[in-house]
Amino acid sequence: MNFSVLRGIIGCIIFWGALLFIKIEKVSNKRIKSIIALCATLLVFFIYCVPLESIFLKFDNLLEAFNYSFPKDKYIDYLETNSSALVLSDSPKNGFIVYDFYKSGSKWKYRYPFKYSKSTKYQNGILADKFTYGNEDLAIIVVYLPKNQENVIIKDDYNNMFYELSDEKYMVYYCKVTNYSQEYTIYVNDNSIKP
């Protein structure tokens, strides 16, 4: 069963229970009725909107955790450490985005607020997003180029493999960097950028 449906059922039970309580106890004071109804409504809203089950849910693998947490997003790739992972995905609302997951024992959980940092840089006609995890030397780099370029050669200092992503507006490439430093440079044809 989908947990949002379960949250809705619990919310309905609480709301109708509060209304039934007002009726059975014959609460006559309008102010008290209003306060009980308002509290029940706010509790229902809180239960339905805040995924409390994510506190308790743990998943056997990263893909299960991602698919549960973001069912509308398309999984692309991940960069994993011993205790955490950055997952690159294509979100219908946000475009290409990275999510943060961590291991609790041997199980995966979604981390919010995120522990990664994002920076964007535009230089020499190249737009690059850099997602780094904490103070570690891991990064996912997403590079956006104008659609009209032909024979694009994209590489970096560390000879990482760049993968092409499909996008309507841009030519998009990404790579996973496991030894990121401030001197890291990406080369696109004759231009360069330090994300």
Per-residue pLDDT tens, the chain, 195 aa: give them. Answer: 456 677 778 778 887 887 777 777 776 777 877 788 788 888 878 877 776 666 678 889 999 988 888 888 999 999 888 888 889 999 888 888 888 888 888 899 887 767 778 889 998 888 999 988 766 678 899 999 988 888 889 999 899 999 999 888 889 999 999 888 888 999 998 888 988
**What is this structure's pTM?**
0.70
What six digits make up the tokens of 195?
């994300």
Give yes or no for a contact between 153 and 188, defined as CB atoms under 8 angstroms apart.
yes
- Please enumerate in sequence order all residues whose Cβ is within 8 A of that of 33, keeping only pairs 6 or more positions apart, or say none: 22, 27
- Residue 41 and residue 74 in one domain: no
Report CA-CA distances (Å) from 70 to 56, 101, 157: 17, 12, 33
- Residue 167 and residue 79 in one domain: yes
- Residue 28 and residue 78 in one domain: no
- Residue 124 and residue 148 in one domain: yes
Give yes or no for a contact between 18 and 39, defined as CB atoms under 8 angstroms apart.
yes
Q: Rounded distance, CA 61 to CA 108, Å?
A: 6
Q: Could you list the residue range(s) of the whole structural domain that residue 27 is in?
A: 3-55
- Residue 40 and residue 117 in one domain: no
- Residue 50 and residue 95 in one domain: no
- Residue 128 and residue 83 in one domain: yes
How many domains would you assign to the chain?
Answer: 2
